[in-house]
């Protein structure tokens, strides 16, 4: 039986602390309406010095993989409709914030050749195109793949094996936070917990970043990344608690706080 690969085996995790730009990130220079555009990604990397960015992916009706958070174009672009129901020739005409095109993952990989990219698979049709794009750009060492869906994660791992780092599914996160004896099975294919500090169940917020989850992570040589943190005081608290990375929309604030604490 081969040894389970831990986070220490992947170049993606080679930074002591990961400051990660959510949806490409934005600040006063790149407002939220440009999220997930190449403008936002390149601003985070080239202007602010980010080494890690985060994006979600969807596939068009004809299998073109795009970097976009929402299932539809309506919220951030000047067009309407579900990405999965439209061909690329239509989606390519949409403009984020009225001016920026929706980027393909090929374009993101090409524009950011030295950047670590955390990729969230938002629907099953994106699994095979993502695996193909990673292979085409030889990006296996610089990506980590996440999904709320254990089925989508299993489908990706079936195509890529353990060549690419992956995160823990949402169900396994819950067990790891509260049930000490299950995580060894549930987390067998993952190298990182990517979690909120708490999860709402009705009107109640249930803590996710628990001592048990931290113990599981340490015992399995896994990392802990926390999302989405936009307030500087919470960033400081999490950094002091020993988490391994923070995902933020306020990339200007996160960069400043991390620099003040000598974490980047």
Active site positions, annotated: 22, 69
CB 24 within 8 A of CB 247: no
Beta pairing class for 198-201 and 204-207: antiparallel
Exposure b/e, 93-130, CB count within 10 A at least 16 = b: ebbbbeebbbbbbbebbeebeebbbbbbbbbebbbebb
Tell which residue, 112, 125, 126, 124, has the closest CA to residue 51.
Answer: 112
β-strand 192-195 against 116-121: which pairing, if any?
unpaired
Cα–Cα nearest to 16, from 238, 263, 250: 263
Q: Which residues are registered as beta bridge partners of 72? A: 82
13 closest CA partner among 173, 159, 190: 190
Using an 8 Å Cβ cutoff, are 156 and 121 in contact? Answer: yes
């Amino acid at each position: 039986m081969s040894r389970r690969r831990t986070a220490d085996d992947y170049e993606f995790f080679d930074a002591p602390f990961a400051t990660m730009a959510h949806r490409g990130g934005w600040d006063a220079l790149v407002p939220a309406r440009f999220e997930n555009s190449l403008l936002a990604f390149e601003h985070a990397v080239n202007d602010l010095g980010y080494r890690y960015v985060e994006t979600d992916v969807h596939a068009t009706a004809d299998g073109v993989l795009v970097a976009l958070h929402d299932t539809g174009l309506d919220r951030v672009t000047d067009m309407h409709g579900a990405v999965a129901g439209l061909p690329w020739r239509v989606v390519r005409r949409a403009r984020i914030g009225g001016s920026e095109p929706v980027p393909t993952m090929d374009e993101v990989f090409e524009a950011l050749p030295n950047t670590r990219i955390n990729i969230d698979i938002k629907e099953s049709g994106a699994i095979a195109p993502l695996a193909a794009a990673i292979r085409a750009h030889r990006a296996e060492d610089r990506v980590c793949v996440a999904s709320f869906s254990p089925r989508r994660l299993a489908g990706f791992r079936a195509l890529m094996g353990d060549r690419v780092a992956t995160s823990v599914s949402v169900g396994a996160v819950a067990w790891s936070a509260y049930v000490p004896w299950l995580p060894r099975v549930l987390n067998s294919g993952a190298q990182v917990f990517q979690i909120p500090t708490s999860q709402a169940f009705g009107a109640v917020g249930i803590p996710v970043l628990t001592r048990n989850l931290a113990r599981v992570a340490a015992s399995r040589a896994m990392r802990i990344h926390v999302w989405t943190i936009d307030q500087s005081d919470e960033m400081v608290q999490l950094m002091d608690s020993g988490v391994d990375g923070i995902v933020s929309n306020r990339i200007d604030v996160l960069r400043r706080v991390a620099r003040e604490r000598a974490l980047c």
